[in-house]
Amino acid sequence: MEKTAIKTGISRSKFKRERNANNKETRPSAKLSYARVSVQKACFVLDAIRGKNVQTALAILEYNPRYASSIIKKLLQSAIANAENNNGMNVENLYIAECYANKGPTMKRVRPRAQGRAYRIEKRLSHITIVLDEK
């Protein structure tokens, strides 16, 4: 059972600060919110690079014809820069530990159809995350 702020006698905000400091993620990552690509289409590209080292992943993304690959390539380059500058990691030792796309909000649009009807078009958005790690 986890101790609560009330039982320990400290303020709730201080308790949360201490708890979050202990659970801090140390692996470099990059996140793109509200990417204008559906989760299914982004996952096709993410499945191709999952678990690969970053040089191989960049080569795969360079020659992948899908639209999502250009977005994910920029995101991967951002994660590599975060690893170099913030964590001091060596680029040759980096690999993609996790990469996933979560569902974002859906923009709803209306398309006119025959006999005065209106069909809904859903433009889906996604939140894409890439987490790197060192071998």
What is the rounded average pLDDT of the residues 62-82? 96
Nearest to 108 by CA among 120, 96, 98: 120
What is the rounded average pLDDT of the residues 78-100? 93
> Which of 1-15, 18-32, 82-96 bottoms out in mean pLDDT, i.e. has the lowest?
1-15
In angstroms, the Cα distances linking 114 to 110, 111, 119 are: 13, 10, 10
- Which pTM does this prediction carry? 0.80
User: Amino acid identity of 98?
Assistant: E
Measure the CA angle with vertex 102, ends 99 and 103; round to 5°: 155
Domains and CATH numbers, the chain: 29-134 (3.90.470.10)
* pLDDT averaged over every residue in the chain: 91
- Looking at the chain, the whole-number percentage of residues with pLDDT higher than 70 is 94
Residue 128 scores a pLDDT above 50: yes
pLDDT given for residue 48 in this prediction: 95
Q: Are 72 and 125 in contact (CB under 8 A)?
A: no
Partner residues linked to 53 by β-bridges:
95
